A and B are shown apart, each in its own frame.
Chain A
Amino acid sequence: KQEVTQIPAALSVPEGENLVLNCSFTDSAIYNLQWFRQDPGKGLTSLLLIQSSQREQTSGRLNASLDKSSGRSTLYIAASQPGDSATYLCAVVSSGNTPLVFGKGTRLSVIA
């Protein structure tokens, strides 16, 4: 059974700092990994989707890497801004018909 862990559970940084969020998964046989952002009381916004054959994906100030063999992914946020404050969720699909399995998220606060 796939399990996804995110460390740290919460993180507070000053504005402008670069930061890394970590995600690990127990079964390395994944099809893809997706990072989401969730604002309080809101839905999920997809940030990046990495296929199992890819090593990284980039979108603006965000870069996600995937090391499938070690069961790890990182989300790198450059030059953080207060508007980046949210909960970041990592999720994986382990097989064709297996639904997305989520970690519990990292709650990020960027202080102005």
Chain B
Amino acid sequence: NAGVMQNPRHLVRRRGQEARLRCSPMKGHSHVYWYRQLPEEGLKFMVYLQKENIIDESGMPKERFSAEFPKEGPSILRIQQVVRGDSAAYFCASSPGTTSYGYTFGSGTRLTVV
């Protein structure tokens, strides 16, 4: 089991470009969570998805950010028209269910906007 796979590990985008971050959950895990970590700050929840459904997007900015977890393929976090303030580490986690299960995190994607 390869664990939670995130790619790319590092991503550099110019202001105004689009950033696409991918996350493949652990085998057998149908719950995916995206978190953002700003320098010297804690991890902040962004969005929680199950296959083809967004369950909770309360932590995701209303504009420019979107997420999906299609029936086939990885979960995608998409940031349109990136700005310098979007520079951060973005982590994906997966779990097989809720409440009793711990989360397994990927290694993250470090986005730098120049």
Contact = CB atoms under 8 A, between A and B. Distances in A.
Interface string A65-107: 0000000000000000000000001010101111111111100
B102 A49 contact: yes
Nearest to B6: A43
A97 B98 contact: yes
Contact of B56 (A32, A97, A104): A97
A34 interface: yes
Contact of B45 (A44, A45, A96, A99): A99
B105 interface: yes
User: Which of B35, B43, B59, B104 has the largest count of A CB atoms less than 10 A from its CB?
Assistant: B43
Interface residues of A, number: 26
Contacts of A43: 91, 105-108
Contacts of B91: 43-44
Given A97-B98, A102-B43, A46 B103 contact: yes
Contact of B105 (A41, A44, A93, A105): A44
Contact of A96 (B93, B98, B104, B110): B98
B69 interface: no
Nearest to B58: A99
B99 interface: yes
Interface of A: 31-32, 34, 36, 41-46, 49, 51, 89, 91, 93, 95-105
